[in-house]
Structures are given as C-alpha cells and as structure tokens.
Amino acid sequence: MKTTSAIALPDYSVTMSVYGKEQPDFLRLSIKSIVEQSHRTNDFIIVCDGELTDGLNNVLDDAQREYPDTVRVIRTKKHVGTAASANMALKLCKNEYIGKMDSDDIALPRRFEMQLRRMMLHPELDIIGGYIEEFDSDSGNSISVRKVPLSNDAVHRFAKRRNPFNNPTLLFKKSAALASGGYSEDLARCEDYDFVVKMLADGAVGGNIPQVVLKYRITEENYRRRRNFANTKAFIAVRWRIYRSGYSSLPDFLIPCAAQLALFLLPSSLTGHIYRKAIR
C-alpha cells in the first residue's frame, strides 16, 4: 500500500482481454497507459482469447520482458469470449481492488489514483467508474465526453434502463463481484451491463467520479456494431433478463428497447450524429 496526498492507496489488479483482430499499435498504447499510472499496479493480467497475430504477440512479449513482475499473460487454446475471459482474469487477480481496461483505449495517467482515493474516502463503495472522452481513431480529435451518474441512488436509477458505468473505467471489489456470480457466460454480448446490474441488485454500492479518466477510441466499426441486429438483440435480451429479475419495471424495459430498435432502423448516415448529439 502506497501513500498519495496523505491517503494510503491499496494495491490493485488490472484485467484486459485481447483477441486476434485487434491492432498491435492500439494494444501497445493501452498497455503503456496502465503500466505508467501515477499509482502503479502490481498485477496486470492480460487474457489472450484464442490465437493472436504475430504483431499482437510481439507487443505482449515486450510488455512481459519490460515488466516481468507486473504483467501476466494468460492464453486460451481457443476463442472463449469476453465473459469467460473476464471470469478467468477475475479469479486470478491477487488484489481485492480490480480495474477493467480495454485493449484499444488509453487510461489517463491518474485514473487509478483518483478512483482508489475516492474508494478509500468512501469505503462503502463496491464499484466505481468515471467519465470517458471519445476520440476519433483516425484523426485523434475529441468527439464527445460520456458522462455517467455520480451518486449511488442515481446509479441505481440509471441502471434500470442503461449501463450506469463506462465499462472500461470500472474499478470494483473482487469480493463483491464474486459474490454476485461474476460475468454471465451465456450472454453473447452486453455482459458488462448484466455484470454491474447483478452487483447492484445484490446490494453493491456504486458511483462515478465526475472527471474523464479514459480516452475511448471510436472507429467506423464502433458505429456499425452499435446499430447491427446482433447488438440490438443482445441489448433487448439483457434488459429482459433485468426486468424478469425484478430489478426494473416494464416501462424501464420497453422505453430503452424502443430507442434501441429506432437506432437500428434509422439510416446509418444518421446513427453517428444521433449517438453523439442525443445519447451523449
């Protein structure tokens, strides 16, 4: 445990999963943003979900060589999916506090220092996130800031219809995540939304800090994925599960599903504009 600004900050783990279609340069920047945090992790677990390209393997080899006491690379023989990869990493983490990270985003230098300080000041918190700045992958230009609810009450209200956290900014207690069952591996997508709702429904206390803690990469593929049928169906399935659990009401199920269907049916030329201006 280290002391920062008179507050003792605990050790923490970070988890990331990588699969074969990702970009080596993006992965390198993402890893760099974690190992160079102002309050550094002593346990960075990277799960390789199936076979990777030579470029990705080179990046991981470099990371292990430079940070042998921190970076742990776990390989699966075949593609197992995001939820299974996350559960694998969750069980292997050696610290109570676990941070999530995506393999193409960039954590700001004080991300974990800020989040852990908030959790030390408010020990009742089980899960915390923060704002993200979305940026265009090609130009590097900022697109928008996705703000999320701050207080526990606001998080619970928001969660009834949408994910109240920016998933790659999550920092949570391992004990609370395991107590709620971890990630649901029977879901094809949207397992992150299901994961946090299960924790909240089990009594976890959540919150977000009102600061950007991560730069989130946006590509044309992001927009296509958000409006395709598989993604639309997955959101409806998860919201139906949340409604059936008793956590949300029927209007909480119907209204966001209607909005999701509308985005799917709209011309693709309008989707990005609406996503940036209306949803954000």
> Residue written as tokens 């990005």?
272
Q: pTM score > 0.85 for this model?
A: yes
How confident is residue 55, by pLDDT bands cut at 50, 70 and 90?
very high
How confident is residue 2, by pLDDT bands cut at 50, 70 and 90?
low
Mean pLDDT over 16-36 rounds to 95
- Identify the bridge partners of residue 130 per DSSP, sorted by sequence position: 209
Mean pLDDT over 86-112 rounds to 96
How confident is residue 221, by pLDDT bands cut at 50, 70 and 90?
low
List the domain boundaries for the chain: 2-218, 220-280
CA distances from 235 to 22, 92, 94, 96, 142 (A): 23, 29, 32, 30, 27
- Angle between helical axes of 24-35 and 54-66 (0-180°, round to 10): 20
Segment of 164-178, 217-231, 236-250, 256-270 carrying the highest mean pLDDT: 164-178
Does residue 228 register a pLDDT over 90? no
**pLDDT reported for residue 186:** 86
Average pLDDT in the chain = 90
d(CA 171, CA 148): 15
Please give the structure tokens belonging to residue 72. Answer: 């742990």
Note the CATH number of domain 2-218: 3.90.550.10
Does residue 227 register a pLDDT over 80? no
Least confident of 17-26, 181-190, 238-247: 181-190
Does residue 270 register a pLDDT over 70? no
Alpha helix ranges (H) inside 67-163: 82-92, 111-121, 152-159
**pLDDT reported for residue 268:** 57
pLDDT in tens, 144-202: 999 999 999 999 999 999 999 999 999 999 999 999 999 999 887 889 999 999 999 99
Mean pLDDT over 20-29 rounds to 94
The string of DSSP codes covering 37-81 is: -SS--SEEEEEE-S---HHHHHHHHHHHHH-TTTEEEEE-SS---
d(CA 172, CA 126): 6
